[in-house]
Amino acid sequence: MTKKKCPKCGKKLPATLKYFSPHRRPKDSLKSWCKACMSVSSAAWRASNSEKHRANVAKWRAANPLHGTWQQMLYRCTSRKHDSWKFYGAIGVRVCSRWSDPEQGYKNFVADMGPNKPTPQHSLSRFGDVGTYEPGNVKWMTWAEQGVEKRKKWKLQMQQAA
């Protein structure tokens, strides 16, 4: 197995993603510092620049107001660790490939849903509370509107069961 030397700590470690983060450089596609050194370096920077870091995060979030909504949509449909997994991913609710693409998914989501929610009280909802998260099957709804949709779905299920 090929070894790679971290210039920060001097350790020779296997040149794998277990020890080195991915990098877009074509040489070996791995960053030069090992993950342990990167982690310590990042933590040290955040500790010494916490105000600057908070300001940068706030600025980024202001410029990307739908990122949290997009991220939570993906997380509840793909991660068993999410509290709502049982209501989404576990029952087969999925996110379309256009929105789940790791590189362009967020941009596509914003292009389809608009740059902002109509109001802070709105959240993402699927029509009839069924189907995949995809253009044409989602809209911005208030909690009250979502409650009406859930009741419609429940009544339909009760009629089908009878």
103 and 127 belong to one structural domain: yes
Q: Is 139 domain-assigned?
A: yes
**Residue 28 pLDDT class (50, 70, 90 cuts):** confident
Q: Is 12 domain-assigned?
A: no
33 and 111 belong to one structural domain: no
Task: Please say if the pLDDT value at position 7 is more than 70.
Answer: yes
Mean pLDDT of the chain: 87
pTM of the model: 0.63
93 and 58 belong to one structural domain: no
**Residue 158 pLDDT class (50, 70, 90 cuts):** confident
* Per-residue three-class SS string for the chain: CCEEECCCCCCEEECCCCCEEECCCCCCCEEEEEHHHHHHHHHHHHHHCHHHHHHHHHHHHHHCCCHHHHHHHHHHHHCCCCCCHHHCHHHCCCECHHHHCCCCHHHHHHHHHCCCCCCCCCEEEEHHHCCCECCCCEEEECHHHHHHHHHHHHHHHHHHHC
Q: State pLDDT tens for residues 62-77.
A: 889 999 999 999 999 9
Give the pLDDT of residue 54. 85
Give the pLDDT of residue 122. 94
Q: Is 2 domain-assigned?
A: no
> Percent of the chain, pLDDT > 90?
44
Q: For residue 50, what are the domain limits?
A: 19-63
Task: Please say if the pLDDT value at position 25 is more than 70.
Answer: no
Give the pLDDT of residue 26. 58
- Highest-pLDDT range among 18-27, 52-61, 137-146: 137-146
Give the pLDDT of residue 83. 93
Q: CA-CA distances (angstroms) from residue 65 to 59, 61, 97, 139?
A: 10, 6, 21, 16
> Percent of the chain, pLDDT > 70?
98
